[in-house]
A and B are shown apart, each in its own frame.
Chain A
Amino acid sequence: MSKELLFGKNPDEIKQIVKELGMPSFTANQIVDWMYKKDITEIAQMSNISSKNRNLLSAKYDFGVELPVKSEESIDGTKKYLYPAGVNRFIEAAYIPDENRSTLCVSSQVGCKMGCLFCMTGKQGFQQHLSAGEIVNQIRSLPERDRLTNIVYMGMGEPFDNPDELMKSLDILTSDWGFGMSPRRITVSSIGIIPAMKMFLDNNQCHLAISMHSPFDEERRKLMPIQHVYSIKDVIDIIKTYNWQGQRRVSFEYIMFKGLNDTDLHAKEMIKLLNGLICRVNLIKFHPIPGTPLEGSDHDTMVKFRDSLSAKGVFSTIRQSRGEDIFAACGLLSTKELIKKGFENQDSEILNY
């Protein structure tokens, strides 16, 4: 059986471990430092901890940092990394370098339960929540880590369906004892699971991005089953009760589907819904996925749509598409084939209904 992992634990948890193993209490801070401030990959490399204590630790724990097992590079410089997440399971993270910023799009789950019609990850079904360590490892083990300026939780999975590990991972990224990143460099993207969204907004200062994709109830239900449970109007009503006057930002993601959600009526309804909220709308080109009944809007329609929103004070941009050729673009991440291979000879737990 594999050992428990240290990486991803917070100082309180490490203190508890140190106590249980009968180690001097000051070693807790040293271990936390080794995990989040330094570049080692094994407990044996914790050189300021006695070998006796390292052996005690190693008997029960693994350090828990995993390098990506595969990478692909797009012609536009975007890179997609494949990380292991437990036995036979994998996740992807997309590194997107730009002129003056470099963003990593991280995953929060293996697969996803939300079943959005336009999303490859949704087609994979749900296999596993990622632990905080597995989330943060995507950053820690990124070859370009030194150049990284921004993090978006927009990879595989719905972050608010894994709220405890999400919050813990944000804590590691933003705490002084952790990576010490500014919450202004981190955006959590969600389809709007209200109870967890409230917890996030109450306890954290990172930015929020909400996937809207349609302002109309009926239409959004068909694109995103979550609309049956938490409607976009309710999500926005709650967001409006928070303060967006300061540095914290909220944005709305809007994938544009030809003839479906790209009309004047849609723009008008969005303006109505977002009235009074300081926010931004990111219009995204749709990348068709196999078997999809949807098509992307053309560029002119997107420009017109953007201009209608902006003319009414809803600041909108068209997000440049990145990494399409390596399936790293928005909504294209999937590790289903790899997972299926791993389970070929077992009673598949992907399909157990």
Chain B
Amino acid sequence: MIYTNELKKVIVTSNISISANVYLLSFKREFKFKPGQWIAVGLNATDNPRLYSIASGVDNDEVNVLYDIKPDGAITPNLAALKSGDAIYISKPDGSFYCNNGKGWWIAAGTGIAPFRSMLESGMAKNKKLLHGGRYLSSFYFEKEFADVLGENYIRCCSQEKGNAVFEGRVTDYLKDLKQLPSDENYYLCGSSEMVVETRDILVDKGVPFGNIIAEIYF
């Protein structure tokens, strides 16, 4: 349970831009966690930290955090200026956006891909289909890693650009077009509330029991 200001100092090992305005921050892993969990990240020990899904595998030496810059945001513009050797302050891992090993769908929008990257790197991609929604062709972070492991089960939905083997439209458009959706599989949703709420409505409308829909909202 994290609710106090118990933030611990760690040293950034790298902070690289992997797409326009999108960064992957790394530091040495000194704790155990479960795929789907988040950590709170602050620029100093007392500031109001923000939450970020862990985007790396449970056994990796380093922890990754994927984030995009909100131009008028309080933290992300400053996060983006961090260099290797700088300090950040993090909480213990917490949260419970867990995924089981059964058949299931990972549905992400934007940086909502982060927990699924952790699951992928933790060997949980078997039996999974991934729908990733992004505005541009450059929005499919970790594209190669997902494509290598998931093959045809990796579906990119691009709302603003056209591309080879990429569905043109949002993830919600993709789902609406499907005739049938399995009602005995789990659906893991991660991203903005708009995506989560619309996707959940579509799934329920297509006969998926709401109990099979597990959602993490980046509020």
Q: Specify whether A and B are partners.
A: yes
Known interface pairs A225-B215, A353-B170; A126-B210 also in contact (CB < 8 Å): no
Interface range, B side: 35 or more
Identify which of B48, B193, B200, B211 contacts A126 (C-beta below 8 A). Answer: B193
Report if B195 contacts A (CB, 8 A).
yes
Query: CB distance A115 to B193 under 8 Å?
Result: yes
Identify which of A123, A195, A221 contacts B201 (C-beta below 8 A). Answer: A123
In the complex, which residues of chain B have a beta carbon less than 8 angstroms from the beta carbon of A114?
193, 217, 219
In the complex, which residues of chain A have a beta carbon less than 8 angstroms from the beta carbon of B219?
113-114, 126, 161
Q: Which residues A192-208 have CB closer than 8 A to chain B? A: 194-195, 198
CA distance A291 to B199 in the complex (A): 12
Identify which of A126, A198, A226 contacts B194 (C-beta below 8 A). Answer: A126
Identify which of A198, A293, A351 contacts B204 (C-beta below 8 A). Answer: A293
**Smallest Cβ-Cβ distance to A292: which chain B residue:** B204
CA distance A161 to B201 in the complex (A): 23
Report if A122 contacts B (CB, 8 A).
yes
**Smallest Cβ-Cβ distance to A163: which chain B residue:** B48
Report if A238 contacts B (CB, 8 A).
yes
Query: CB distance A293 to B135 under 8 Å?
Result: no
A-contact 0/1 string along B106-146, CB 8 Å cutoff: 00011000000000000000000000010100000000000
B-contact 0/1 string along A283-323, CB 8 Å cutoff: 00000000101100000000000000000000000000000
Identify which of A125, A194, A230 contacts B193 (C-beta below 8 A). Answer: A125
Identify which of B3, B51, B171 contacts A238 (C-beta below 8 A). Answer: B3
Query: CB distance B3 to A293 under 8 Å?
Result: no
The size of the chain A interface, using a CB distance under 8 A, is 33
CA distance A352 to B68 in the complex (A): 14
A241 to chain B, nearest CB (A): 10
Report if A350 contacts B (CB, 8 A).
yes
Query: CB distance B197 to A353 under 8 Å?
Result: no
**Smallest Cβ-Cβ distance to A223: which chain B residue:** B210
In the complex, which residues of chain A have a beta carbon less than 8 angstroms from the beta carbon of B94?
229
Known interface pairs A114-B219, A115-B217, A229-B51; A217-B110 also in contact (CB < 8 Å): no
Report if B213 contacts A (CB, 8 A).
yes
Query: CB distance B211 to A353 under 8 Å?
Result: no
Known interface pairs A229-B95, A237-B1; A113-B191 also in contact (CB < 8 Å): no
Identify which of B194, B196, B200 contacts A350 (C-beta below 8 A). Answer: B194
B68 to chain A, nearest CB (A): 12
Known interface pairs A113-B219, A221-B214, A293-B204; A228-B194 also in contact (CB < 8 Å): no
In the complex, which residues of chain B have a beta carbon less than 8 angstroms from the beta carbon of A291?
201, 204-205
Query: CB distance B96 to A228 under 8 Å?
Result: yes
Report if A78 contacts B (CB, 8 A).
no
Report if B97 contacts A (CB, 8 A).
yes
Query: CB distance A293 to B193 under 8 Å?
Result: no
Q: Which residues A236-258 have CB closer than 8 A to chain B? A: 237-238
In the complex, which residues of chain B have a beta carbon less than 8 angstroms from the beta carbon of A122?
193, 197
Report if A147 contacts B (CB, 8 A).
no
**Smallest Cβ-Cβ distance to B36: which chain A residue:** A228
Query: CB distance B97 to A234 under 8 Å?
Result: no
CA distance A310 to B74 in the complex (A): 46
CA distance A114 to B110 in the complex (A): 18
Q: Can you report 9 A-B residue pairs in the complex whose CB atoms are below 8 A from each other? A: A113-B192, A126-B193, A161-B219, A225-B196, A225-B215, A229-B51, A293-B204, A351-B198, A353-B133
For the complex of A and B, 3 pairs with smallest distance between CB atoms: A113-B219, A353-B109, A125-B194
**Seed contacts A115-B193, A195-B48, A291-B204; 6 additional CB < 8 Å A-B pairs:** A113-B192, A117-B210, A126-B193, A228-B97, A229-B51, A293-B210
B residues sitting closer than 8 Å to A (CB atoms) are: 1, 3, 38, 48, 51, 94-97, 109-110, 133, 135, 159, 170-171, 191-198, 200-201, 204-205, 209-211, 213-217, 219
A residues sitting closer than 8 Å to B (CB atoms) are: 112-115, 117, 122-123, 125-126, 161, 194-195, 198, 217, 221-222, 225-231, 234, 237-238, 291, 293-294, 350-353
